[in-house]
Every structure is written in structure tokens, then in C-alpha cells.
Amino acid sequence: MPGMDEETADLILSIREDERRRAVLDHLSAGAKTVGDSESDANADVRSVLEEFASAGIVERDGSTYALTEVGERIHEYATADWNPSNEGTKRAATFETLSDCEWHCSACELPSSQPAKDIQMLRKEGFEFVQNTGQGQGDYRHCETCEATTFHRKLKYPFPTQQSITRQDMPDSFKRRVRDLYDHRDAFDGSSPSTTLEVDHRVPEVRWEESESFDYESMTDEEVTEHFQILSRKHNLLKSRKCESCVETGTRPPFMQIEYYYEGDETYDEDLGCVGCGWYNPHEWRASLQAELDE
């Protein structure tokens, strides 16, 4: 049910956390059931749950017979399935298991991965939502009683996907050649023309994406290309990825090439400004702005 509204998500979460209501759904998942007229406490309790589900459109009633609706079948799936998207035994799977209680967790000492930002990116791409409290991205700075430090914490909003997955488009080889030609095959970071093929890099890193790509590569103008893309050596592309992951994790924009200068904003990541102003995002604009200030 990707793209589900908050009311539906809260309903599913409440059922996941209620063994009694979940058991009723499990019982109905095998087919329509008839509830007798017995006034036993157990029967009355089941009828109460069924009436609640009928009001919510989860079940339909025909006399004393109840059956799951199409919506009910989907809610049963979301309320009972294991939604861990990673292979069992991996650090990413363990990260999800830690976060699946939907409580705050310290990135420094509770999450098993050495690169939690990559794990969060993967979960967000799969449609999972994270609580955002401070404008610092997918988390919040909090005091950790375990490591006794103020660290970046994560909190999964629901232990199942509620949003459309974030997908990356296949980039045509013809478009890649066009971008390389547009930049004269020069690395955006240092202007070099290495012998190896330069990679086409998205200025906004994937770890910051909020929705799937939707570029029309064939109709993009040169201005649109330079707005969204640059070219980097493999080494520099990996370096940028690490810096962007650090920014997501800490809320602090790393200085570009050890120079603490931002052509817009400052070292603190701002949701409204986004990546604009950071040298890792646009080294061309960064150099031009810095040179203009030096020339004054």
C-alpha cells in the first residue's frame, strides 16, 4: 500500500501491536468465518473486534458471517508480514531489526553498520519513512544514555513501507557522452582530464533524494544538464559520496577540499537551502564565487 495515508498507517501499526486483533485477521485470512450467538466473553470480544473492522472497511458482514475485504487483505499483509528488505544475517538486516520498534536509536552506538546513512538511504528507497524533528534530515540530535554523548538518532515511523519507492533511472549512454562533451571531459573537482572515463554524477546525492528520478534525458537543455549533473573520476565520485553521507549523518556540510567556504549558507545543512552553497554539490559555482570574493 505504498503512498498510504497516515490514518491507514496508524491503523496498521495499532493492529501489529495488538495480538488479539491480529489473531482475528489471521483467522479471517483463510476465508469467511461465521460467529455464533454465544454470549461468552471470548465471542463477545471477537464480535467487538469484527464490528470495529467492519466500520473501518477491513471486513464485510453478511448476517453472522464475516470476510476480509480487498482492503482488509492488504491490511492483513501489512500487519503481519516481516518487512525487513535485507538478507538475514547482514548488518543492514540488523539495522532494520533495531529500528523496527519505532523508537529513537543512536547512530553511533546502537546501529550496527559503520555507514548508517547508506542503510537509511536504502530503507527510504524501499518506501520506509523516518521521523524528522530538527530539519537535519532523517533524524534528530539527542543525548544517548549509552555512549553519554549528543549524537544523531534515527526513528523509523512505521515498521513497514508507506511511501512509493525511490527509483533511479537508467541513464542512456548517449546522454553520458553528451555530458562529458559538455564539460570537455574535465573532472569537476580539479579540472583534470584523466585517461580513465569520467563518471556522470548527480549534483544532489542519492542519499538526499525525496522522490524518484523523472528526467527526460533527450529533451534536456545544456542549462538543465549543468544544473543537475557534473563529471567526476571514480575516486572523486566515491569521495563525494562519503562526504554527502557524513552530511546526512551529522547535519554538517564538510568543507570542500578542506576549505571552509560556502557560496550560500554555512556549514549547517538547511532543508530549505538543500545542497546549494556546498562545493561538493557544485564545485564550478563554488570556485567562481570564491574567486569573485578574492578579486574584490
Domain CATH for 66:
1.10.10.10
Q: Is residue 160 part of a domain?
A: no
**How far apart are the C-alpha atoms of 289 and 276, rounded to whole Å?**
12
Whether the Cβ atoms of residue 131 and residue 162 lie closer than 8 Å to each other: no
User: 286 with 229, same domain?
Assistant: yes
Q: Is residue 159 part of a domain?
A: no
User: 117 with 229, same domain?
Assistant: no
Averaged over successive runs of 10 residues, the pLDDT of the chain (296 residues) comes to 84 94 92 73 79 93 91 94 92 93 92 80 88 63 89 91 87 96 97 94 91 91 97 96 87 93 95 95 97 91
Strand 229-232, strand 199-202: pairing: antiparallel
Whether the Cβ atoms of residue 118 and residue 245 lie closer than 8 Å to each other: yes
**How far apart are the C-alpha atoms of 251 and 263, rounded to whole Å?**
18
**How far apart are the C-alpha atoms of 218 and 220, rounded to whole Å?**
6
For residue 286, the enclosing domain spans: 173-295
**How far apart are the C-alpha atoms of 79 and 15, rounded to whole Å?**
6
Q: Is residue 20 part of a domain?
A: yes
* Residue 168 exposed, middle or buried by CB count within 10 Å (0-12, 13-18, 19+): exposed
User: 179 with 259, same domain?
Assistant: yes
Measure CA of the first residue to CA of the last residue in the chain; give whole Å.
56
**How far apart are the C-alpha atoms of 88 and 287, rounded to whole Å?**
46
Tell me, what's the pLDDT at 134? 47
* Residue 184 exposed, middle or buried by CB count within 10 Å (0-12, 13-18, 19+): exposed
**How far apart are the C-alpha atoms of 219 and 231, rounded to whole Å?**
19
Whether the Cβ atoms of residue 277 and residue 263 lie closer than 8 Å to each other: yes
Q: Is residue 168 part of a domain?
A: no
User: 104 with 212, same domain?
Assistant: no
User: 288 with 177, same domain?
Assistant: yes
* Residue 115 exposed, middle or buried by CB count within 10 Å (0-12, 13-18, 19+): middle
Among 80, 107, 138, the domain boundary falls at 80
User: 62 with 137, same domain?
Assistant: no
Q: Is residue 136 part of a domain?
A: yes
User: 188 with 144, same domain?
Assistant: no
List of residues 6+ apart from 59 with CB closer than 8 A: 28, 50, 53, 66, 67, 68, 69, 72
User: 32 with 110, same domain?
Assistant: no
Among 80, 102, 129, the domain boundary falls at 80
Q: Is residue 163 part of a domain?
A: no
Q: Is residue 1 part of a domain?
A: no
User: 109 with 61, same domain?
Assistant: no
Domain count, the chain: 3
CA nearest neighbour of 237 among 195, 285, 187:
187
User: 146 with 196, same domain?
Assistant: no
Burial 206-244 (b: 16+ CB within 10 A, else e): ebbbeeeeeeebeebeeeebbebbbbbbeebbeebbebb
User: 256 with 280, same domain?
Assistant: yes
State the amino acid at position 115 in one-letter form. Answer: Q
Among 34, 60, 80, the domain boundary falls at 80
Q: Is residue 165 part of a domain?
A: no
User: 186 with 117, same domain?
Assistant: no
**How far apart are the C-alpha atoms of 229 and 64, rounded to whole Å?**
62
Output the pTM of the full model.
Answer: 0.68
